[in-house]
Structure 1
Amino acid sequence: MKKYLFGLSILASIGFSACNSSEQAQQENAKHTVHLKGNIQKAEDAQGAVVLLQVEPAGNLRDTIRVDANGKFDYELKDFEPGFYRLMVYNQLPVILAINNNDLEINVDAENSKVTGSPEVEVQQKINLLNQQITDSVAEIQMNYAEAANKKDQAGMQMAEAQFTNLQGQLNQQIKKIIEEAPVNLTTLNILKDVITYDTDPEFVDAQLARLNKKMPGLKIVKQFEMQLAATKKLAIGAEAPEVSLKDQEGKTIKLSSLRGQVVLLDFWASWCGPCRKESPSLVKAYKNFHDKGFEIYGISLDRNPEAWQKAKADDQLPGVQVIGMEDGKADVAGIYQITAIPASFLLDKEGKIIAKNLRGEELEKALEKAL
């Protein structure tokens, strides 16, 4: 089943007053001072200090906050970069803060934290409430899926997957409504990165980025996201897959584009990757069932050790075009395709355009039936 994506980590985000001109917005976003105040209940066995760290955009800010004998503090954050910060409390409880224009009050005890002072805290609370409301439903669907899988009940598994997809869609629509009705805020960035992504809803992402740029022009964290999004668009569904030109076991250079006219699975794996190796039988099966109909595999190993790659390829009897992505100790192809974890794959149509990502087992075979 798809990964459950809706446990957002941001505890508070900052609201912005409306403005009618770019000049006003730039003035509002200028560096200034905000107060972080509140109370920290120190556990008896707690050790360490209370430290504020800049997380995103990455910076050098690391400052210790002085807390009085009663656990109270009032900290001035001057000339800061708007973005996300982590408050490390006695080496125990990290509190993630979105800081821009508003003073925040932060109250922390041994078990949790509460942040107030910003209109956007209400937005995050609404999203958290949605998460809580569907927790039981998700658990029930997961249990039904596990039971069906144990019984090898394909119909039951498909029903659970359909229920989960429907629930996910409903939740996404509710989250989108919250974001659209809220003032422009930094929490939106996390939603666009982790929940409602460009692959799932490109029009929504583009619209929210336009809102962010209009109300927060020049903000570094927004510009960084815009650059990330530009790279993501190059790998979006419907985009032409970037060219790959790598060597096979015999040292022959094979271009990805040489496979045009066939439906191609661009598959990233490695000999040391357990989940990759477990997927090998499914790839062998798919190749056997669909190769004669126009299906090909372009497998890219991220092994540093060519011998380990070749042994794993032989042991798993991997079919198709198999090349190694490491050259001179680097895997540039992994950066081009934004590979942060493997296995990872892209299904390409006969024109070399991306039509699906990260398909496994039956999902891959269904997609191949449709594409061929």
Structure 2
Amino acid sequence: MLIAAGLLSACGSENKEVESGNTIHLRGKIEAENPKGSVVLLQIQPEGNLRDTLKIAADGSFDYSLKDFDPGFYRLMVYDQLPVVLAINQNDLEINVNAEGSTVTGSPEVELQQKINELMSGVSDAVARLQMDYAEAANSGDEDRMKKVDAEYTAMQTSLNDSLKQIIIASPANLTTLQILRDVITYEQDPQFVEDQLTRLQKEMPGLKILDLFEQKLEDIKKLAMGAVAPDISLQDTEGQTVKLSDLRGKVVLLDFWASWCGPCRKESPHLVQTYKDFESKGFELYGVSLDRNAEAWKKALEEDQLPGKQVIGVVNNEAEVAKTYSITAIPTSFLLDKEGKIIAKNLRGDELAEKLAEVLN
């Protein structure tokens, strides 16, 4: 959450409809000792391609005309320093970079970001304190303290998000608003707020490709949101028999994405084995999807870990389409499905999974 907010620290744009053939200027100065390399402008979305190389004068100043661009987020790569993130729409921007950091002026986003920075000023220290408390509790095995720290963090996040929402509502619609909705206040946290603000952005900032991309991303997120019916899966088990996820309706199912080479996945195996023993008779089933490219390594891991339930391999013809369907970016990742196939929890581990199953099945 803090990293996402930090990425906004150098944004700038204005909420105007962009016409074809649009041009703005990026002006400013870069103060650097013994500069090496180039200063380049990179579009973050949608393609992420190199936009152009800026010509920097001997005194470090520059005046660059950006023509026929797609409004959205860009990264100014400045020699070997940290990149400057820019939200570019319809306004000329003044960008100054030195050893202490960077500043951007010239757009409504800057004012909005200042409000966010003020809000975030005390959060970083508080999060660091909670992280230390949690680590100490984990090292000592104090589960009660761990749960208390979790509750404190959740309360802090809720309070911060509520404050961010009020700032967004009170501010003009702009690209910084979009980034907060995308990276901080997520759809799963508050779907109605995100939907309402997207409608507002589309009304007040028409014609922006990045809004269409965000809407497409939301559609993908909705497919995996809490309460949604999990997309069906039809893959083969170790015997080459097709096993469909939908065939398990009527049972509470843990859909678990893992691989033989994934250390954290294998570490979780004993918990899954015990949980299966404890809850199978009560209507629990395990549907494990391996993302192994080596089928023999997958089968060997199944034998070594004695993993129960329905186990299938998700890589077919060297492609893992199921991972794309479920937006898997890291493993282990899991989804707990109710008897109707609806998602009721995500990424439960160890005792958390057992506690949730006891709640659902008892």
TM-score by length of 2: 0.95
Structure 1 residue matching 2:99: 3-state secondary structure: coil
**Is contact 1:6–1:131 with CA below 8 Å preserved after alignment?**
no
Query: Identity across aligned pairs (percent)?
Result: 61
2:26 is matched with: 36
Which has the larger displacement, 4-13 or 277-286? 4-13
Cα distance in 1 for partners of 2:48, 2:87 equals 14
Alpha-carbon distance, 1:128 to partner:
2.6
Could you tell me which of 327, 343, 367 is aligned with 2:316? 327
Cα distance in 2 for partners of 1:294, 1:54 equals 50
2:8 is matched with: 10
**Is contact 1:12–1:118 with CA below 8 Å preserved after alignment?**
no
Give a deviation string over 1:284-323, Cα, whole Å, max 9, x none: 2322222221111100000000011011112122121110
* Residues 234-249 of structure 1 aligned to structure 2 (within 5 Å): 234-249=223-238
Cα distance in 1 for partners of 2:9, 2:3 equals 16
Alpha-carbon distance, 1:148 to partner:
1.2
Judged with a 3 Å threshold, the aligned counterparts in structure 2 of structure 1 residues 238 and 12 are, in CA distance, closer, same or farther, namely same
1:264 is matched with: 253
Judged with a 3 Å threshold, the aligned counterparts in structure 2 of structure 1 residues 4 and 312 are, in CA distance, closer, same or farther, namely farther
Alpha-carbon distance, 1:64 to partner:
1.4
Q: Which amino acid aligns with 1:216?
A: M
Cα distance in 2 for partners of 1:258, 1:219 equals 42
Which has the larger displacement, 123-132 or 199-208? 123-132
**Is contact 1:5–1:195 with CA below 8 Å preserved after alignment?**
no
Structure 1 residue matching 2:254: 3-state secondary structure: strand
Cα distance in 1 for partners of 2:21, 2:256 equals 46
Q: Structure 1: where are the runs of 5+ without partners?
A: 18-24
**Is contact 1:29–1:219 with CA below 8 Å preserved after alignment?**
no
Structure 2 residue matching 1:87: 3-state secondary structure: strand
* Residues 8-87 of structure 1 aligned to structure 2 (within 5 Å): 8-16=6-14, 26=17, 28-44=18-34, 46-58=35-47, 60-87=49-76
Matched, 1:277 2:275: no
Could you tell me which of 113, 124, 148 is aligned with 1:124? 113
Which has the larger displacement, 192-201 or 99-108? 192-201
Judged with a 3 Å threshold, the aligned counterparts in structure 2 of structure 1 residues 59 and 341 are, in CA distance, closer, same or farther, namely closer
Which has the larger displacement, 96-105 or 141-150? 141-150
Alpha-carbon distance, 1:188 to partner:
2.3
1:220 is matched with: 209
**Is contact 2:2–2:124 with CA below 8 Å preserved after alignment?**
no
Q: Which amino acid aligns with 1:32?
A: N
Could you tell me which of 205, 211, 217 is aligned with 2:200? 211
Could you tell me which of 141, 153, 161 is aligned with 1:152? 141
Q: Which amino acid aligns with 1:70?
A: D
Cα distance in 1 for partners of 2:36, 2:19 equals 36
Alpha-carbon distance, 1:43 to partner:
1.8
Cα distance in 2 for partners of 1:185, 1:325 equals 40
Q: Which amino acid aligns with 2:141?
A: K
1:291 is matched with: 280
* Residues 160-171 of structure 1 aligned to structure 2 (within 5 Å): 160-171=149-160
Give a deviation string over 1:257-310, Cα, whole Å, max 9, x none: 111111101010111112211222222232222222111110000000001101
Cα distance in 2 for partners of 1:29, 1:179 equals 26
Matched, 1:200 2:193: no
Judged with a 3 Å threshold, the aligned counterparts in structure 2 of structure 1 residues 56 and 218 are, in CA distance, closer, same or farther, namely same
Judged with a 3 Å threshold, the aligned counterparts in structure 2 of structure 1 residues 29 and 239 are, in CA distance, closer, same or farther, namely farther
Cα distance in 2 for partners of 1:283, 1:31 equals 58
Q: Which amino acid aligns with 1:10?
A: L
Q: How many residues align?
A: 361
Could you tell me which of 355, 361, 364 is aligned with 2:350? 361
Q: Structure 2: where are the runs of 5+ without partners?
A: none
**Is contact 1:106–1:115 with CA below 8 Å preserved after alignment?**
yes
Alpha-carbon distance, 1:361 to partner:
1.9
Judged with a 3 Å threshold, the aligned counterparts in structure 2 of structure 1 residues 129 and 362 are, in CA distance, closer, same or farther, namely farther
Q: Which amino acid aligns with 1:9?
A: L
Structure 1 residue matching 2:121: 3-state secondary structure: helix
TM-score by length of 1: 0.92
**Is contact 1:51–1:88 with CA below 8 Å preserved after alignment?**
yes
Which has the larger displacement, 292-301 or 272-281? 272-281
Structure 2 residue matching 1:328: 3-state secondary structure: coil
Judged with a 3 Å threshold, the aligned counterparts in structure 2 of structure 1 residues 30 and 367 are, in CA distance, closer, same or farther, namely farther
**Is contact 2:257–2:331 with CA below 8 Å preserved after alignment?**
yes
Q: Which runs of 4+ in 1 moved over 3 A?
A: 3-8, 12-17, 28-31
